[in-house]
Amino acid sequence: QVRLAESGGGLVQAGDSQRLSCAASGGTLGSYAMGWFRQFPGKGREFVACISRSGSSTVYADFVEGRFTISRDNAKNTVYLQMNRLKPEDTAVYSCAASVYRTPASPADYNYWGQGTQVTVSS
């Protein structure tokens, strides 16, 4: 069973950049498509981005507007989310997830989840 652990969250100011990491253990990350989701208090998970097993395909939510980049290093069993030009409305808990599908955008299509990391963007 794949275990995922996010890191890199914290408090930043609007306009700043932040990089989240998702490290996998107990399995080979390259066997899964990987996604990032975020969750606001009292709300369900919102799709942010996903990347195919090889990294050749990526999908982003519309709200990203070119500010975020998802990438992966299968040799390091790690997926990244580079977030630039952060806005206060990006404040949320960000979670990574692994899927046996190609580039799924629905949380229901993901098999394994990390615990999440809090990202807070101050104005």
β-strand 18-25 against 3-7: which pairing, if any? antiparallel
- Helical segments of 9-123, H only: none
pLDDT in tens, 10-61: 999 999 999 999 999 998 999 999 999 999 999 999 999 999 999 999 999 9
Amino acid occupying residue 93: V
Q: What is the pLDDT of residue 86?
A: 98
Amino acid occupying residue 37: F
Q: Mean of the per-residue pLDDT values for the chain? A: 96
Q: What is the pLDDT of residue 95?
A: 98
